[in-house]
Amino acid sequence: DGGITQSPKYLFRKEGQNVTLSCEQNLNHDAMYWYRQDPGQGLRLIYYSQIVNDFQKGDIAEGYSVSREKKESFPLTVTSAQKNPTAFYLCASSISGYSTEAFFGQGTRLTVV
Amino acid sequence: AQSVTQLDSQVPVFEEAPVELRCNYSSSVSVYLFWYVQYPNQGLQLLLKYLSGSTLVKGINGFEAEFNKSQTSFHLRKPSVHISDTAEYFCAVSDLTNAGGTSYGKLTFGQGTILTVHP
């Protein structure tokens, strides 16, 4: 079945450590996105990528980094510079950067202790 | 910049009652509108979308929404809810945004409405 796979579902890390969240899609979509979700705040865009080897900062990129070396993969690294990293992270994709219908993965809940 | 306001953070309702979840957006230019549903600890699933055409849009699970351009609203309705409809619902607006010299369709989400259906 086609879809978006995020792993792991739950992740615990110590404060000060970098951590990488995985996102893989087999939908042959060009565009991929990372969102952060906090209670009562909806979803906020961290980074997006319209094509391979290209990505742009979203609204809350500070303390995060991404790469897009393959069309199907868009990993997100939460660095130690992110002041409040504990959150639910959602990866999404769409057919193209112009497409407005996004498909979402199941999310990764990151807890930093 | 776009903004989306979901007027109710929580909506409790009894099973088989009708429900309306309200959504207003800021832009007066052409936009695309979406409603997504999220069950606990899961991703978002598309309920319905308005791109153009008829202002009444039907989606999955018996939901429908009406696009009202003059009031910049896109309220979600269901005539009779079930226990299984208990979830968080997000309204989203998309338009083309320029960044880094290119255009892309950017989704802006509302804060979410938690619908709780009681037996």
Nearest CA in chain A to B105: A98
pLDDT tens, residue by residue, B25-61: 987 666 789 999 999 888 999 999 988 888 899 999 9
% of chain A at pLDDT higher than 90:
73
Would you list the DSSP string of chain B?
---EEES-SEEEEETT--EEE-EEE---S--EEEEEEE-TTS-EEEEEEE-SS-SEEE-GGG-EEEEETTTTEEEEEESS--GGG-EEEEEEEEEEEEETTEEEEEEEE---EEEEEE-
The confidence score (pLDDT) of residue A32 equals 93
Average pLDDT, chain B: 89
Structure tokens that stand for B66 in this block: 């009406």
> pLDDT exceeding 90 applies to what percent of chain B?
66
Of A72-86, B79-93, B103-117, the one with minimum mean pLDDT is B103-117
Best to test chain B binding among A29, A94, A100, A108 (most B CBs inside 10 Å):
A100
State the Cα–Cα distance between residues A103 and A93, nearest whole angstrom: 5
B-chain residue closest to A39, CA distance: B111
Q: Which of A91-105, B3-17, B55-69, B93-107 has the lowest mean pLDDT?
A: B93-107
Give the residue from B104, B106, B113 with the most A CB atoms within 10 Å of its CB, the best one to mutate: B104
Confidence of residue B77 (pLDDT cuts 50, 70, 90): very high
Please state which of the ranges A6-10, A66-70, B25-29, B70-74 shows the lowest mean pLDDT.
B25-29
Beta-carbon contacts of A58 under 8 Å, excluding residues fewer than 6 positions away, are: A33, A34, A44, A45, A46, A47, A48
User: Per the CB < 8 Å rule, is B43 touching A94?
Assistant: no
Q: What is the pLDDT of residue B99?
A: 57
> Which burial class, exposed, middle or buried, applies to B53 when counting CB atoms under 10 A from its CB (0-12, 13-18, 19+)?
exposed
Asked whether A110 and A51 are in contact (CB, 8 A), the reply is: no
